Amino acid sequence: MGEAKVMYKLEKPQEGLPHGIPYGMAVGNHDQYPSQFAASGHTALYNKYFGVSHFEGRAYYGGHFAQDNDSHYDLFSAGGIDFIVIYIEYDAFDEQQDEMNNWAAELLERYADRKAIVVTHYTLFLNPVAGTNLNGRAPFGKQAERLYHRIKSHPNLIMMMGGHVGDNGEGYRQDTYNGHTVKSFLSDYQSRPMGGNGMMRLMRFDVASDLVHVRSFSPYFDYEELDGDSNFKVPFLREPAATRVYDFNLDGRSDVMKFQSGNWFDRNGTLLFSHWNAGGVPAASYFEGGGQTLPAVYNLQKAVYTLQNGQQVALGEPNAIPVPADYDGDGIADLAVWNPTTAIWSTRGQADVKHGWAASTPVPADYDGDGAAERAVWRWSNQTWYIAQVGNVPFGEPGDVPVPGDYDGDGKADICVWRPTTGEWLIHGAQKSVKLGKQGDLPVPGDYEGIGRVQFAVFDPERKAVLLESGHVIPMDAAVAEIVNLPFAIKTYYLDLLKK
């Protein structure tokens, strides 16, 4: 009855919410008798206070699975987005797991126009290293893993969350399938003093900046945890491995940046960061997850990365080329280099891989939509894209510039070239090309307007501006060699072409 008294407070009518704040619950082992049994046990007390009859008639209540309300779903809209939230009962002994998973899949198909959040009692185990989301994925619970693989093919699925696991009680992971990413969260503070000290989690969805702000706090003690797995941000719908590129200020849009004498400047000429003593070339990427591009440089002679915090990481051999990308699909860009002499890819924390030829340009990207960048090269002699573990695709002509990117917003990188002689952008498989730019301009694709796909764009050194396919112009006082918004390897290849 105590739980009902607490939750019923949410049902107080408010302006625009005649049934109060929409809410739902995922039944867990402490709601089941005997504990752990989803079908052979019963949930009489839970259904007494939170049963079908209690929620029927509420505008947000969608319906339920089987004969009771142990698994159910809600429908609501906020921020101009329609949502479905599916709550699935804990099923430790797999008594009805397949049936519930199929029910969830049917709902995702029926409500394909709604972004979906799935709540289970036990979704994740703890982060590998407490206090941070940066040290690998938290493992799925058994039931949640089976559920994810059953429903991952539905592109409207965006999140999973749950509890059950105490101790530090926090975990995070993300998984990508066919170009769309699902983020999973654990928050459970029951094992802390006084049953958690009133700790709770608040997630705020910032649609304009395409961010989810996560906070963990105790209103009872007026206390907030600020460590890396308690207070953090993650992208909402667009991922840095696909469309969210060069977003240095985390506003959901690509930012034009220049690197001059070791200093990083935005389009207003504001100095944002300095690597003045590192002696490197720009190699920015999303090294801490969360969708934010962070400055970094790679010293070609010393084979050393210098990060934003000043940390130095030796990697590769002299004259290797920086190719940072998310090669393991955990949502965090890895420090990596490619050696054009040996064709060896060296990635921090991963085994070396040989792929490519000397006379090639490295073009790593997520071409198959699994969330991990494939090691890939564009070979100059035959204009063929050699994508490791995917395939070889001839595309382009001599003098073209490879510019892979997610130009259609499907979460996968498209094979694309820019032809300086004609100003054409050509995408493999597309029926038509788009003309933008001229010889001497620099291709700088990115999502500069926050439209959810990479846009064709060029930097015109004569006009001192970035020209977008939409017709918009972004002023930028810089030289071609100073612009950051094209991977170093591709920019070097193009500048060498201009000298010939």
283-309 pLDDT, tens digit each: 999 999 899 999 999 999 999 999 999
pLDDT band at 2, cuts 50/70/90?
low
Q: Say what the pLDDT of residue 6 is.
A: 87
- CA distances in angstroms from 384 to 127, 324, 374, listed in the order given: 41, 22, 15
Strand partners, 173: 184
Q: Helix count (H) and strand count (E) of the chain?
A: 7, 34
The C-alpha angle 251, 255, 257, rounded to 5 degrees, equals 145
Instruction: Write out the two tokens for 293.
Output: 């591009």
Quick one: residue 97, left, alpha or beta (phi over 0 = left, psi -120 to 50 = alpha)? alpha
Residue with tokens 């990308």: 325
473-486: pLDDT as tens digits: 999 999 999 999 99
Quick one: residue 71, left, alpha or beta (phi over 0 = left, psi -120 to 50 = alpha)? beta
Please give the Cα distance from 491 to 495 (Å, whole number).
6
Taking 80 as the threshold, does the pLDDT of residue 448 lie above it? yes
CB atoms under 10 Å from CB of 190, counted, come to 14
Taking 80 as the threshold, does the pLDDT of residue 320 lie above it? yes
The C-alpha angle 449, 454, 455, rounded to 5 degrees, equals 65
- φ and ψ of 395, to 5 deg: -165, 125
Q: Say what the pLDDT of residue 277 is.
A: 83
361, HSE (Cβ side, Cα atoms, 13 Å): 29
Residue type, 478: A
Q: Say what the pLDDT of residue 314 is.
A: 98
Domains of the chain with CATH codes: 1-235 (no CATH), 258-498 (2.130.10)
Instruction: Write out the two tokens for 364.
Output: 């790593």
Please, are residues 374 and 366 in contact by the beta-carbon 8 Å criterion?
Answer: yes
Q: Say what the pLDDT of residue 197 is.
A: 87
pTM as predicted: 0.95
Q: What is the mean pLDDT of residues 79-84?
A: 97
